[in-house]
Amino acid sequence: MSDIYINDWPPFSPQDQNRRRNVLEAARLMVNAAMTAPNAGGVPQVEAHIVHGYKEQMALARKMEEMASWNPVMDRLFKYEAVMVRESDCVLLFGDFRAAETPMDASCGGCGGRGDCSFVYERRTTALGQIDMTQPRRDVFVDGPLCTVRVGDLGFAMGAAVFMGHRLLVDTRPFATVGMAAKQLGYCPDSPIVVGVLVAALAKNPYVDINTDYHLHNQSKLIDSVRKQYSLARQAGADYRLSDPGYDRWRERVREKRQREAGGRPARPDQQDKEE
């Protein structure tokens, strides 16, 4: 019977891929929890994507970094959380496809307008009492206004997913920035609002204890800096066949040790040759 070796280093190596497959199983169960979470009216309204793999996660992270320049208020959040996307094992995306197109029509006034849902309907293109979402806006983070009841249902779905992740012993955290960038890339295409949930199973939770300037001071950047300094340092010295200061110092230490053991008398040449 073949064995399965698991280790988180190096990233995306066969042993790390084995670990990530475990996380994907947990992520699928988290989606199940979201799909079965309580919602108003008991009608289907949540769609989900599981994003995983180096290429896919890098594309999402780069989109977040691009969007950092769109709004100076959220600049830091987009940059820092893009690093977390790269460090995650996978990304869950949840959207509510009824939040704009089919409000709850509960006349609750939760959206901030009058208690007859007119706040939502008057700001959308409508025909025969139906909202037309065939041309959603792409120039905004969230295509509102939205039905507050539906958005609350999306919150229940995310909460159920995160709860399941906790029960399955994986680190998770929801991020609005991840969902905004994912929406721009076409994930959860029927939803006007998308939220991302990052998932990882690492020794250190990658979503807490975040340092300042995290987009510059993170594990990936530090490793790359070491690689650069190491390559430069190798080129600074002479060829080892002509000069090897480290080896020469070791030989000198051996001579000094033998002299101390001999009571301060210099070691004989034949002893030096044998020791070296």
pTM for the model: 0.85
pLDDT tens digits, 1-46: 589 999 999 999 999 999 999 999 999 999 999 999 999 889 999 9
What is the full DSSP assignment across 183-247?
HHTTSSTT-S-EEEEEEE--SS-TTSSPPTTTTTSSHHHHHHHHHHHHHHHHTTS--TTT--HHH
pLDDT tens digits, 108-136: 888 877 778 888 888 888 887 888 888 87
pLDDT tens digits, 167-186: 999 999 999 999 999 999 99
The domains located in the chain, with CATH, are 14-210 (3.40.109.10), 237-275 (no CATH)
The H or E element spanning position 46 is strand 46-51
